[in-house]
Amino acid sequence: MPPSNSNNSDAAYAITARGLTRRFGKLVAVSNLDLDVPRARIYGFLGPNGSGKSTTIRMLCGLLTPTSGSATVLGMDVTGNTEKLKPRIGYMTQRFSLYGDLTVRENLEFIADIYSYPRSGRSARIAELLEDYDLEGQAMQLAGTMSGGQRQRLALASAVLHRPELLLLDEPTSAVDPRSRRDFWAKLFELSDAGTTILVSTHYMDEAERCHRLAILDRGIKVADGAPADLQENTGMTIIEVLAEAPPRAQSVLAGLPEVKSVTQLGVRLRVLVPSHIDAPLDLISGVLSKAGLDADSKVVSASLEDVFVAVTQDDDSGEQAA
């Protein structure tokens, strides 16, 4: 029996991390990360490439040793308990990592044996997965010859075969079409409703928006953490949408203002972020634009998740953030 105090946190959180840090030589890939992932929820890691998402996931499953800090997964300290945790965790890599020269069924059989799935229930479990993940038609097909969406369904089926309590998904949808992504997320919600905790990293805004809770990572640092709706309400920014006749010119005029945090063009519209402490931001924007001889229609709108992302990550770097 684990000690009673860890029993409490065990009940509420599948993952807790304190001061988790990982260095590769001089590069700090993950810096002083605190994390609380509630059980039976989908928790998202949002961040651009190189923000430390994969490194964090690898530390949480024991593949990488933290330089400092600690992480508790399913009530156990990851360091020293990696082998005990493996049967309780399902892991899906960024890259397809099953055997392309085995059939779908052979891959699943292999994984069932590796996880010591009881012999008696094995074929029933595989049949169930083939049906659930819409792979019945591909059971005898070599995994390497399947489409991206089919492979990804097989990868998820493989990761959940042994009914893990915790699923770690490292950019699982980076190689599939939008339709497959939607089906994939429907599956994740089913799993989460059934009690599985899911930690998923992504760089898609629409995926991040579906998570129950979300951490935004930027160059190894957690810059925001909360439910997507809460994050959108508390950006600390006023979002102004500008419909101008010459968007590029309007953008360059507005970007020069010290009060403006960022200007992003979305089709014919501009999305302008102004910190909340600036008074009457709408008048400021309209005034500047008319002074520049530009006809524009500006209005305050509510923040999207992308606005949140821009607000928290684009501090010293004015490079464009792609969705």
Minimum Å distance from CB 136 to another protein? 21
Which residues does 293 contact at the CB level (< 8 Å), separation at least 6? none
Q: Which of 140, 135, 304 is closest to 233 using CA atoms?
A: 304
Can you read off the two tokens belonging to residue 102?
Answer: 């085995």
The verdict on 63 binding another protein (CB under 8 A) reads yes
- Residue closer to another protein by CB (options 26, 291) is 26
Can you read off the two tokens belonging to residue 289?
Answer: 């634009």
- Residue closer to another protein by CB (options 65, 318) is 65
Residue choice 14, 15, 30, 61 for contact with another protein (CB under 8 A): 61
Can you read off the two tokens belonging to residue 73?
Answer: 């997964």
What is the greatest pairwise CA distance in the chain? 78
> Of the listed pieces 113-121, 133-141, 223-231, 285-293, which binds another protein according to CB under 8 A?
113-121
Residue choice 110, 187, 234, 275 for contact with another protein (CB under 8 A): 110
DSSP string, 130-192: HHHTT-GGGTTSBGGGS-HHHHHHHHHHHHHTT--SEEEESSTTTTS-HHHHHHHHHHHHHHH
The verdict on 64 binding another protein (CB under 8 A) reads yes
CA–CA gap between residue 155 and residue 135 (Å, rounded): 11
- Residue closer to another protein by CB (options 89, 285) is 89
The verdict on 33 binding another protein (CB under 8 A) reads no
Residue choice 83, 193, 279, 316 for contact with another protein (CB under 8 A): 83
> Of the listed pieces 82-90, 177-185, 218-226, 302-310, which binds another protein according to CB under 8 A?
82-90
CA–CA gap between residue 93 and residue 83 (Å, rounded): 18
Can you read off the two tokens belonging to residue 211?
Answer: 């998570």
Residue choice 101, 230, 283, 317 for contact with another protein (CB under 8 A): 101
The verdict on 141 binding another protein (CB under 8 A) reads no
Three-class SS state of 108: helix
The verdict on 89 binding another protein (CB under 8 A) reads yes
The verdict on 87 binding another protein (CB under 8 A) reads yes
Residue choice 21, 32, 50, 86 for contact with another protein (CB under 8 A): 86
Three-class SS state of 107: helix
The verdict on 261 binding another protein (CB under 8 A) reads no
Which residues does 196 contact at the CB level (< 8 Å), separation at least 6? 40, 160, 164, 165, 166, 167
Per CB under 8 A, contacts with another protein among 142-171 are: 142
Per CB under 8 A, contacts with another protein among 286-315 are: none
Can you read off the two tokens belonging to residue 125?
Answer: 């479990």
- Residue closer to another protein by CB (options 7, 145) is 145
Residue 184 CA: distances (Å) to CA of 118, 187, 198, 277, 298: 27, 5, 13, 41, 38
Can you read off the two tokens belonging to residue 254?
Answer: 């507005």
DSSP string, 60-72: HTTSS--SEEEEE
CA–CA gap between residue 11 and residue 44 (Å, rounded): 20
Residue choice 58, 151, 203, 261 for contact with another protein (CB under 8 A): 58
> Of the listed pieces 12-20, 73-81, 85-93, 186-194, which binds another protein according to CB under 8 A?
85-93
The verdict on 106 binding another protein (CB under 8 A) reads yes
Residue choice 35, 98, 154, 308 for contact with another protein (CB under 8 A): 98
> Of the listed pieces 9-17, 78-86, 291-299, 315-323, which binds another protein according to CB under 8 A?
78-86
- Which residues of this protein are in contact with another protein, per CB under 8 A? 58, 61-65, 82-83, 86-87, 89, 91, 93, 95-102, 106, 109-111, 113-116, 142
